[in-house]
């Protein structure tokens, strides 16, 4: 066991933004919340999953909603005690630990703040290894751990308990209530006992986020490339360097939908890259602007598609993409469990309405793969 202090929180925020594939919400807000909670209540114990007592009961904490909403409706820790108390009551078991439901963006930082406020240890793990926009996309859900009973709360202290007939039903119910709560709400879900914990999680993902942040910080200090330093830790690959020339964003049904077009610079001057996102980046398409050839697939969900500020190496979330920004697009392999047939039915391109199949990013890199019509 070790403790998360304010310095660790800053590194985790950078790493969580990288792993969040553009989604998960603004990690800077989460960093401020976690730092404030640690300053008031003390550092947060971080446990290796192997250290969790088999009789323990872990409450994964998450935020549901459109990431863009958090810019105007700041998250509040006020409902957390009531959410966790309601979660324990719904499961009939006291909560012994918390953990992030996903490691991306603000969703990785709020559980740290929750652990500090509730004075509970946090598990070094999450249930995705990245961020995804819907509950059935949790690896725990795919492994058979139900997301309900799920408890959601708003900044006014209102809480709602959901007991869906399956995770798809729970997602629809919770998403509807999330919209009613202002398109952003905190929740506890997918309760898992210590004896079953390690089969339903991505272990050491909090530590990975911290190492990514440390790598970026060290590279800047040593005048090295922070993007290369981060990608080396996750087997990532640069796909494209360019400038954002168009961004279309709309928020509907508790999701932020985005299409960003980037024109290549330097070695990619003859290329154009288009990103399509639903909270998180789902598809990266490349097109050679000197020919009439159709776009080709550069990376696709469930692999991680990331955007960095080319100059600073800072990860860029979907709501931060702006016209004129100089960016680097990169990709990395997802957790191998997401590549199973059962998982791809939930998180693959077909699940998001795209008419082409999944190809691993390592098979796409350096090859031309046409997008099926």
> Could you write out the DSSP letters of every residue in 334-353?
--GGGGSHHHHHHHSGGGGT
Give the span between the Cα atoms of 128 and 102, in whole angstroms: 5
Asked if residue 122 and residue 14 are part of one domain, the reply reads yes
Asked if residue 148 and residue 20 are part of one domain, the reply reads yes
Give a yes or no: residue 120 inside a domain: yes
Give a yes or no: residue 223 inside a domain: no
Give a yes or no: residue 373 inside a domain: no
Q: Which two tokens stand for residue 82?
A: 């009531």
**Final residue before a domain boundary, out of 155, 187, 205:** 205
Asked if residue 189 and residue 239 are part of one domain, the reply reads no
Task: Give the number of domains in the chain.
Answer: 2
Asked if residue 59 and residue 14 are part of one domain, the reply reads yes
Residue closest to 260 by CA, chosen among 280, 238, 290, 237: 280
The parent domain of residue 140 ranges over 2-205
Asked if residue 278 and residue 340 are part of one domain, the reply reads yes
pLDDT for the residue numbered 369: 44
Asked if residue 340 and residue 284 are part of one domain, the reply reads yes
pLDDT for the residue numbered 372: 43
Strands (E), the chain: 2-4, 44-47, 57-65, 97-100, 122-123, 125-126, 150-153, 159-162, 184-188, 192-193, 202-203, 237-252, 255-264, 271-278, 280-288, 296-300, 304-309, 326-332
Give per-10-residue mean pLDDT for the chain (373 aa): 93 96 84 94 96 94 76 77 95 96 92 95 96 93 94 92 95 92 90 86 96 97 97 96 94 81 96 94 95 92 97 91 95 96 96 93 66 41
Instruction: Kindly report the pTM of this predicted structure.
Output: 0.93
Give a yes or no: residue 229 inside a domain: no
Question: For residues 214, 220, 225 and 227, what is the CA-based torsion angle, rounded to 10 degrees?
Answer: 40
**Final residue before a domain boundary, out of 205, 221, 254:** 205
Residue closest to 110 by CA, chosen among 154, 144, 76: 76
300-325 burial, b at 16+ Cβ within 10 Å, e below that, comes to bbbbbbbbbbbeebbbbbbbbbeeeb
Give the span between the Cα atoms of 297 and 300, in whole angstroms: 7
Asked if residue 134 and residue 11 are part of one domain, the reply reads yes
Asked if residue 188 and residue 241 are part of one domain, the reply reads no
Residues 337 and 127: beta-carbon distance below 8 Å: no
Asked if residue 241 and residue 192 are part of one domain, the reply reads no
């Amino acid at each position: 066991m070790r403790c998360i202090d304010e310095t660790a929180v800053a590194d985790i925020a950078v790493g969580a933004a990288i792993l969040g594939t553009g989604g998960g919400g603004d990690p800077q807000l989460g960093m401020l919340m976690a730092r404030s909670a640690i300053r008031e209540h003390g550092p947060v114990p971080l446990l290796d999953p192997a250290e969790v007592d088999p009789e323990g009961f872990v409450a994964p904490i998450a935020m549901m909603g459109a990431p863009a909403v958090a810019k105007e409706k700041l998250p509040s820790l006020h409902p957390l005690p009531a959410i966790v108390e309601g979660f324990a009551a719904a499961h009939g078991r006291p909560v012994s630990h918390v953990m992030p439901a996903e490691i991306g963006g603000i969703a990785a930082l709020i559980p740290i703040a929750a652990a500090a406020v509730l004075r509970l240890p946090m598990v070094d793990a999450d249930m995705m290894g990245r961020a995804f926009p819907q509950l059935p996309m949790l690896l725990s859900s795919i492994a058979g751990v139900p997301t309900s009973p799920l408890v959601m709360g708003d900044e006014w202290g209102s809480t709602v308990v959901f007991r869906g007939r399956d995770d798809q039903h729970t997602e629809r119910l919770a998403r509807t209530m999330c919209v009613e709560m202002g398109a952003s709400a905190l929740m506890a879900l997918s309760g898992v006992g210590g004896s079953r914990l390690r089969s339903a999680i991505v272990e050491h993902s909090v530590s990975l986020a911290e190492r990514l942040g440390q790598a970026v910080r060290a590279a800047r200090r040593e005048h090295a490339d922070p993007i290369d330093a981060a990608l080396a830790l996750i087997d990532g690959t640069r796909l494209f360097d360019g400038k954002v020339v168009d961004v279309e964003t709309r928020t509907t049904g508790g999701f932020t939908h985005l299409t960003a077009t980037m024109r290549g610079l330097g070695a990619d001057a003859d290329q154009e890259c288009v990103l399509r996102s639903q909270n998180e980046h789902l598809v990266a398409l490349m097109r050679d602007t000197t020919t009439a050839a159709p776009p080709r697939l550069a990376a696709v969900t469930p692999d991680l598609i990331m955007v960095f500020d080319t100059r600073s190496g800072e990860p860029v979330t979907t709501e931060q993409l702006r016209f004129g920004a100089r960016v680097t697009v990169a990709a990395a392999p997802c957790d191998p469990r997401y590549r199973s047939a059962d998982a791809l039915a939930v998180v693959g391109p077909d699940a998001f309405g795209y008419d082409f199949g999944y190809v691993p990013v390592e098979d796409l890199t350096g090859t031309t793969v046409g997008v099926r019509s």
